[in-house]
Chains A and B, each alone.
Chain A
Amino acid sequence: MPGYLQIVGRITAVTLVDTNLMVPVPFLVRRRFRETTDTVTLEMVPQQSQDRIDFSPGQFNMLYAFGIGEVPISISGDPARPETLMHTIRAVGAVSSALVRMKQGAMVGVRGAFGKGWPLHEACGKDVVLIGGGIGLAPLRPVIHHLLNNRKAFEGVTLLCGARTPRDIIFRRHLKRWQRRTDFQVEATVDAAGATWLGHVGVVTRLVAHLDSHPSNTIAMVCGPEVMMRFAVWELLQWGLAPDRIFLSLERNMKCGTGVCGHCQFGPVFVCTEGPVVSFECIEPWFHRREV
């Protein structure tokens, strides 16, 4: 139900905010998967089935650790299975650490889903290149599920994923399964490894030059630390991809999730409503500005 009237950012737009989006819904942690030493994936179900959250790949939820606080976390599950909600969380601050510590049976408050996801419609009929660095692979996993669930709708699908070391790679079981597919090229690289590692060593952006597809029919989706994304964009542009074919998932200080509070402003963009996924073309003038 619409709640209160509010004026959004540019004054010209007056919208109604759904007050339901401001109230956390209780979800039960059904399973917990340890990904790395500081990262877990929580599989959650709503206490009441009508509270399930339908989402698009790339969207995020606000997760509330009761009594501690709320953080924005991208959804990392399969959009075709909205009855279970998956979030992959890295322990960084007080709230994310509390979420990472949560065990089976714990309760989490969830608001969402928020934001604009990956451009799946635009990707139809094209080669799709996904570049994920570190935990940046998590927001890309729903896209991977979608691409593989609808494989015939897309041309070549390539995943380039990077991590510090082999032990820091998340979704290792999934990666192995995906690597066995003949219709999905998966390349994993790490910054440092011993001689037993048979994958690539080097930064993930270096793999761009080895792409098989042609830039004129390719769309790229990139998620990772902002420094990594800067270099990924540079490599993709060098490779010949147009700025409007490069999509990034931005991370900013999201609080309300509805474009009201302004904490997540990135130049003219409210990341929580107009992002987190944006085209590089759209944010290019602000991408290298320190003040933004």
Chain B
Amino acid sequence: MSSINEILAGHRFFRGVDPIFLRILNECAAMVDFEAGEIIFRQGHDAKRFYGLDRGRVALELHTPGNGTVVIETLGPGDIFGSSWLFPPYNYEWDARAVQDTRAVAFNAECLRDICEADHDLGYDLMKRFAGIMRNRLQMARLQCLDIYRLSDGSRL
């Protein structure tokens, strides 16, 4: 089994992070496993952890009364989730469910915030990475809202 350090070093989100930072981040990290179907967290609950997915698939979902559960997005190896650790009041905004047997590196949110406050270089590096992910997800969410397949008037395609 790979160590947390090895997993972080090979993880897309942490690619290129200074090895010294990785060692510091490692202090807040633990490996976690989820079985397919297991709920990882619920909307509104305290965002105590943030996750870097190593294996498997996770669905971010929303329960809609009368319509059941709607999947907003699925995430795979190399993705992160649980970014509510960054913003007060530190509550998860979606449900997260393991779609397949899943392995992830879980970071203690409080520990991570303390580290970022203590070492602004590390904190800035992390924030830049989060900002990139959020920008990308916003762009993808906009595309989903656009309903591009319905918009297309092409018949040849």
Interface residue? B157 (CB, 8 A): yes
* A251-B157 in contact (CB<8A): yes
Interface residue? B150 (CB, 8 A): yes
Supplied contacts A73-B156, A164-B150, A251-B157, 13 more A-B pairs, CB within 8 Å: A71-B155, A92-B154, A92-B155, A192-B71, A198-B99, A201-B71, A201-B73, A201-B74, A203-B140, A209-B12, A224-B148, A228-B149, A231-B143
Interface residue? A57 (CB, 8 A): no
* B157-A195 in contact (CB<8A): no
Cα A139 to Cα B154 with chains together (Å): 13
Closest residue on chain A to residue B77 by CB atoms: A210
Interface residue? A142 (CB, 8 A): no
Mark out the residues of chain A between 103 and 157 whose CB falls within 8 Å of any chain B CB in the assembled complex. Answer: 133-136, 138-139
Cα A120 to Cα B69 with chains together (Å): 43
Q: Which of A74, A138, A199, A203 has the most chain B CB atoms inside 10 A of its CB?
A: A203
Could you tell me which B residues sit within 8 Å of A by CB distance? 12, 57, 59, 61, 68-74, 76-78, 97, 99-100, 136, 139-140, 143-144, 146-157
Total contacts A to B, CB within 8 angstroms?
116
Q: List 21 A-B contacts (CB under 8 A).
A: A71-B156, A90-B157, A133-B149, A134-B149, A139-B156, A139-B157, A191-B144, A194-B68, A194-B70, A197-B71, A198-B99, A201-B73, A206-B140, A224-B148, A225-B151, A227-B152, A228-B148, A228-B149, A231-B139, A251-B154, A251-B156
* A202-B144 in contact (CB<8A): yes
* B76-A210 in contact (CB<8A): yes
How many residues belonging to A are interface residues under a CB distance threshold of 8 Å?
A: 50
Cα A76 to Cα B144 with chains together (Å): 26
Chain A residues within an 8 Å CB radius of B76: 200, 210
| Selected contact of B151 from candidates A60, A135, A227, CB within 8 Å | A227
Chain B residues within an 8 Å CB radius of A249: 157
Interface residue? A254 (CB, 8 A): yes
Mark out the residues of chain A between 35 and 75 whose CB falls within 8 Å of any chain B CB in the assembled complex. Answer: 60, 71-74
Interface residue? A89 (CB, 8 A): yes
CB distance from B140 to the nearest CB of A (A): 5
Chain A residues within an 8 Å CB radius of B97: 195
Interface residue? A236 (CB, 8 A): no
* A96-B155 in contact (CB<8A): yes
Q: Mark A191-226, 1 if CB is under 8 A from B, else 0.
A: 111110111111101100110000000000001111
Cα A139 to Cα B97 with chains together (Å): 35
CB distance from B139 to the nearest CB of A (A): 8
Interface residue? A93 (CB, 8 A): yes
